Amino acid sequence: MTEFAAIILAAGKGTRMKSDLHKVLHPIAGKAMLLHLLDSFAELNPQRTVVVVGDRREQVDAAIEGRDVVSALQDPQHGTAHAALQARDALSGFTGNVLVTFGDVPMVRAETVRKLTSALDDGAKVAVLGFRPNDPLAYGRIVADEDGTVTKMVEFKDANAEERAVNLCNSGLIVAHSDDMWPLLDAVDNNNAQGEYYLPDVATGAIARGDRVVVVECDADEVAGINSRSELAGAEQRWQAARRETAMADGATLKAPDTVFFSHDTVLGRDVTVEPHVVFGPGVTVADGVHIKAYTHLEGASLSSGVQVGPFARLRPGAVLEENSFVGNFVEIKKATLGKGAKASHLSYIGDATVGADANIGAGTITCNYDGYFKYQTVIGERAFIGSNSALIAPVTIGADAIVAAGSAVSRDVGAGDLRMVRSEQAVKQGWADRFHDAMKKKKAAAKKNAP
């Protein structure tokens, strides 16, 4: 692929979002839309990437920190062509194709960019990206010959009836060699009702001077812009639908696909079964043969082969489930490892802990890992048995094959093979309950008799 640079326009105020968060930082599948775009472009190794910023620049700069990306300020804001020009200094000395795109059009694929830039190889000076939506609405139209040569680009409001009948629409994405892009941008004027400099006029200007402009087509969903919460939800829906299809094509079973939600980085192995209403947050890796039952939420977790989770389980960041371990209903795991074959079947909290292979955690067990200031570790040995309703007060170690009796509050280490029972002695008062009931019944009857 010919060397190229990317200019991403992200200077708009995004007022329709009605948010304190910059529009391009709103997430799809847990990742900011701008970062979706940057990661897509990264597959093509752009020589330079410039994000043109304006409103809430500090938010965008923070989001791209650590990436090989720079920002350029558009202030004041006088339209999309004017915004693209603000990247010129950052691209000083660069010779190659220059792509201009939009931060709120986040699902453009690397392959589409490759096709768009490759369209210049046959002598075209400018290539534009078009799409054919089900309803063209008020999109700008592209009038082109059968070979893709563009003869005219026209905004909907300026189009005649014949031009409005054309269903090939302008996405706004455009590419030209740097030798052509900057002169064409410089030539754009603001002779329009808004008094702004518009990016499509780059193509219009190229046609006017006799250059060949070509159109490359893509799917309408790929270039859907996001300007409102409703459009953001629509993009999320489309992303999830595509990810579900990929998961099933790769060998996972989704019992009710529409109810399963993935993160942008979810990894699923083969023969994984996912029951209804499962949510994957960021950072989840699932190995082959795992069964995730209904209403389970996972985030930052690693599940090895043969694991079963749920229903109604929660795996938080740092949860590691080794082979054939089991987490049942209403169990929460946080920054803890369950060894091979270990079980926490129900109603437990395991945090900041290491649980050995084949250990059993009884119902109602909690690791008391936090004193209000610091977190502490609990270590449970192999084959240990923790009785129901036990509190393990960290830092504490339960040895291999040890038994903690039900109802115990354990604050000191338990040796391997030992039994630890922490209970107060039970008191028995024979006949006390019968006498209590008799007294209460008489009192209640007297109160009822004396009531006004």
> In this structure, what are the phi and psi dihedrals at residue 247, rounded to the nearest 5 degrees?
-60, -45
Q: Which of 26, 36, 277, 346 is catalytic?
A: 346
| Partners of 142 in the β-ladder | 153
The pair of three-digit structure tokens given for residue 9, joined into one six-digit string:
């326009």
Please, are residues 361 and 341 in contact by the beta-carbon 8 Å criterion?
Answer: no
Instruction: Decide: 60 and 10 in contact? Cβ < 8 Å.
Output: yes
Distance CA 309, CA 325 (A): 9
> Which segments within 219-364 are labelled E, that is strand?
253-254, 267-268, 273-274, 279-280, 285-286, 291-292, 297-298, 302-303, 308-309, 314-315, 320-321, 326-338, 343-355, 360-361
Q: Which two tokens stand for residue 205?
A: 């200007």
| Contacting residues for 276 by C-beta, under 8 A, at least 6 apart | 255, 256, 259, 260, 294, 295
Q: Report how far residue 37's alpha carbon sits from residue 50's, in angstroms, rounded to the nearest whole number.
A: 12
Residue 346 falls in the annotated catalytic set? yes
Q: Which residues have CB under 8 Å from 334's CB, separation 6+?
A: 316, 317, 318, 319, 349, 350, 351, 352
Rounded Cα distance between 32 and 21, Å, is: 11
Helical (H) or strand (E) element with 207: helix 200-208
Question: Tokens 């006029």 — which residue?
Answer: 201
Q: What would you measure as the largest C-alpha separation in the chain, in angstroms?
A: 107
Residue in 17, 103, 118, 113 with CA at minimum distance from that of residue 64? 103
Peptide bond into 257 cis (omega under 30): no
**Catalytic residue positions, numbered:** 346
